[in-house]
Amino acid sequence: MLELAELLAHGRAVVLTGAGCSTESGIPDYRGPLSRARPRNPVQIQEFVRSPDARRRFWARSTVGWARFRDAQPNGGHRALAALEAAGFVRSVITQNVDRLHARAGSGAVIELHGALHRTRCLGCGDRASRDDLQARILASNRGFAAHGARLAPDGDVDLPDEVVARFEVPACAACGGVLRPDVVMFGEAVPRDRVERAFAEVDAAGALLVVGSSLAVFSGYRFVLRAHERGLPIAIVNLGETRADGLATLRVEGRAGEVLTSVARALGAGGIAAE
């Protein structure tokens, strides 16, 4: 932990976070040690757009999982990063997560690469709306549906039997009656270019890059490590298990994000977190 604290002590670090940053909040990851035993086949955007059955499956599963996903609380890792930002050690957070937990923990400079599940968007008129408002409409036409119990999945949804999904009434856009989608980057889609450029600009202005809770298997996040490496920046990685960028890392810490980052924040006296 001391080496990581020393790396961050110079300030201006940009942090890239993945699902492993939120597992201590009860949100599963895709490629962590436990998740690898439960392979997932998330819906692809092409299938979602063309298939009413795919949309029925997506919204049925999301309806059951939404309350638990929405109510997840920031953990020690989120709070430590907010404290490190407030103390000037962290410049910004680039997150691959769609749970809004960094903002809720108090981080002010956050780029949500993949958006957030807290809003929906219409494929027809483009209207954006609150996911909570949609949940109320869904439950009005699918009474008792959210009572189905199942294990929460990385997307904030749950696995449901086909016969349960078949009974689900799919919601439509309240503004035009069109097809609704989550306001996130779905599998098979590219991150909006302006968002990528903002993230690259943050890396270019940084003094170091800290990766937290990501295997970096997806290029969406890995490209920022490549950018940092090209610029000769120190790269630190905090993760459980190997990552795609281990060979590029200046420092590698094996551990849970909350435990590691809380210790680092204490060591730096960040945000009133007392040094041990």
Q: Is the pLDDT of residue 38 over 80?
A: no
- Is the pLDDT at 152 greater than 80, yes or no? no
| Residue 13: CA count within 13 A, CB half-sphere | 29
The answer to whether residues 212 and 4 touch, using CB atoms and an 8 Å cutoff, is no
Lowest mean pLDDT among 25-29, 110-114, 174-178, 266-270: 25-29
Separation CA 148–CA 145 (nearest Å):
6
Whether 114 sits among the annotated catalytic residues: the reply is yes
pLDDT (0 to 100) of residue 274: 44
Encode pLDDT of 167-211 as tens digits: 999 999 999 999 999 999 999 999 999 999 999 999 999 999 999
pLDDT digits (tens, 9 = 90+) for 219-260: 999 999 999 999 999 999 999 999 999 999 999 999 999 999
**1-27+74-114+191-276 classified as CATH 3.40.50.1220:** yes
Measured distance CA(24)–CA(237) in Å, rounded: 18
Q: CB neighbours (10 Å) of residue 150?
A: 15
The pLDDT confidence band at residue 276, using thresholds 50, 70 and 90, is: very low
Q: Would you state the structure tokens that stand for residue 112, as one six-digit string? A: 């949500």
Architecture of domain 37-71+116-184: 2-Layer Sandwich (3.30)
Whole-number Å distance between alpha carbons of 179 and 174: 10
pLDDT of residue 94: 98
Task: Kindly name the residue from 78, 102, 114, 118 that is annotated as catalytic.
Answer: 114
Structural domain spans, the chain:
1-27+74-114+191-276, 37-71+116-184
What percent of the chain is modeled with pLDDT above 70? 89
